[in-house]
């Protein structure tokens, strides 16, 4: 009786293991584990993550594509892993959009030091300082020149490919290509009016950034100032969105 019980237990365990293995293979087949993808370590092409910053800059310049820099801690940062899984692993929406619109660069700060080629460690730290990155993940959106900052995005528990694409598009509204497309056919006067609105929005964001750099104390007076800065930025954006 005991032998029969052990045999049944062994068979059941074996079946469960096979089922789990089959499910894992099926999930991988359909891309359920694509969030574990590794960015390329050499070369760059539109819509695909790479650690090769210089190659991405070259392609961005040639194709006049903006860049998204992903400052991440790929093997320890929970929010980074969440965004990889919920947004960047999606090939149908995010992948299709990125392929036509972005150069994607991964600037990783992992605990496992074998993940990032040693020659890029110092460069990643320099870029982190250059763009004032204070936490992970941070997504910096740049003009195709690799210098002009168009926007900065962060993680969200509610992030989906669709709403992250919309946030990216909002940042790209200020790119040269987007401005040229929007103002095509406009009179010089109307085009200048639109450019003035964009400049006002940029200035409003800069004013907030400059103020935050002073590390103001958290008190009621500064809370009011912060709210006013945010109000000015929102007002400037509203004028841009309502421009016809």
| Residue 191 reports pLDDT greater than 90 | yes
- The β-bridge partners of 106 are 70
Q: How far is CA 209 from CA 150, 196, 224, in A?
A: 14, 20, 16
Residue ending a domain, choose from 116, 147, 172:
172
| Residue 12 reports pLDDT greater than 50 | no
pLDDT at position 129: 96
Do 43 and 135 lie in one domain? The reply is: yes
Residues 6 or more apart whose Cβ sits within 8 Å of residue 145: 61
Do 114 and 191 lie in one domain? The reply is: no
Instruction: Please give the tally of structural domains in the chain.
Output: 2
Do 121 and 148 lie in one domain? The reply is: yes
* Residue 224 domain boundaries: 185-241
Closest Cα partner for 81 from 175, 157, 166, 192?
Answer: 157
Q: What is the Cα–Cα distance from 136 to 133, expressed in whole angstroms?
A: 8
Per DSSP, the three-state class of 113 is coil
Q: For residue 17, tell me if it sits in a domain.
A: no
Q: For residue 23, tell me if it sits in a domain.
A: no
pLDDT at position 22: 45
**Mean pLDDT calculated for residue range 79-96:** 96
Do 114 and 74 lie in one domain? The reply is: yes
Residue ending a domain, choose from 147, 172, 197:
172
Do 48 and 153 lie in one domain? The reply is: yes
Residues 6 or more apart whose Cβ sits within 8 Å of residue 59: 44, 45, 46, 65, 103
Q: For residue 66, tell me if it sits in a domain.
A: yes
Considering all CA atoms of the chain, what is the largest pairwise distance in Å, rounded to the nearest integer? 93
Q: For residue 139, tell me if it sits in a domain.
A: yes
Exposure of 84 by Cβ count < 10 A (0-12 exposed, 13-18 middle, 19+ buried)? buried
| Residue 29 reports pLDDT greater than 80 | no
Do 46 and 153 lie in one domain? The reply is: yes
Segment 34-86, tens digit of pLDDT: 444 689 999 999 999 999 999 999 999 999 999 999 999 999 999 999 999 99
Residue ending a domain, choose from 151, 172, 193:
172
Q: For residue 65, tell me if it sits in a domain.
A: yes
pLDDT at position 37: 65
Do 45 and 143 lie in one domain? The reply is: yes
Do 164 and 191 lie in one domain? The reply is: no
CATH label of the domain that carries residue 153: 3.40.30.10
Q: For residue 22, tell me if it sits in a domain.
A: no
Do 128 and 216 lie in one domain? The reply is: no
Q: For residue 157, tell me if it sits in a domain.
A: yes
pLDDT at position 6: 41
Do 168 and 50 lie in one domain? The reply is: yes
Segment 131-169, tens digit of pLDDT: 999 999 999 999 999 999 999 999 999 999 999 999 999
Confidence band, pLDDT 50/70/90 cuts, at residue 244:
confident
**Mean pLDDT calculated for residue range 208-233:** 93
Do 209 and 94 lie in one domain? The reply is: no
**Mean pLDDT calculated for residue range 119-128:** 96
Q: For residue 218, tell me if it sits in a domain.
A: yes
Do 128 and 91 lie in one domain? The reply is: yes
């Amino acid at each position: 009786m005991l032998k029969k019980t052990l045999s049944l237990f062994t068979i059941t365990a074996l079946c469960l293991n096979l089922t789990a293995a089959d499910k894992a293979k099926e999930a991988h087949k359909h891309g359920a584990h694509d969030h574990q993808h590794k960015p390329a370590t050499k070369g760059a092409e539109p819509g695909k993550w790479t650690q090769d910053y210089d190659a991405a800059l070259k392609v961005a310049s040639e194709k006049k594509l903006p860049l998204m820099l992903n400052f991440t801690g790929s093997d320890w940062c929970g929010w980074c892993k969440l965004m990889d899984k919920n947004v960047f692993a999606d090939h149908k929406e995010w992948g299709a959009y990125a392929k036509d619109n972005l150069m994607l660069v991964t600037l990783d700060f992992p605990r496992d030091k074998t993940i990032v080629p040693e020659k890029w460690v110092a460069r990643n730290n320099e870029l982190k300082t250059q763009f004032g990155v204070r936490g992970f993940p941070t997504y910096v959106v740049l003009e195709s020149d690799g210098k002009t900052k168009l926007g900065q995005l962060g993680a969200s528990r509610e992030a989906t490919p669709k709403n992250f694409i919309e946030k990216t598009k909002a940042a790209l509204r200020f790119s040269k290509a987007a401005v040229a497309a929007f103002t095509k056919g406009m009179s010089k006067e109307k085009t200048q009016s639109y450019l003035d609105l964009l400049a006002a929005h940029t200035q409003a964001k800069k004013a907030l950034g400059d103020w935050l750099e002073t590390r103001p104390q958290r008190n009621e007076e500064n809370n009011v100032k912060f709210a006013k800065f945010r109000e000015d930025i929102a007002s400037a954006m509203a004028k841009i969105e309502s421009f016809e």
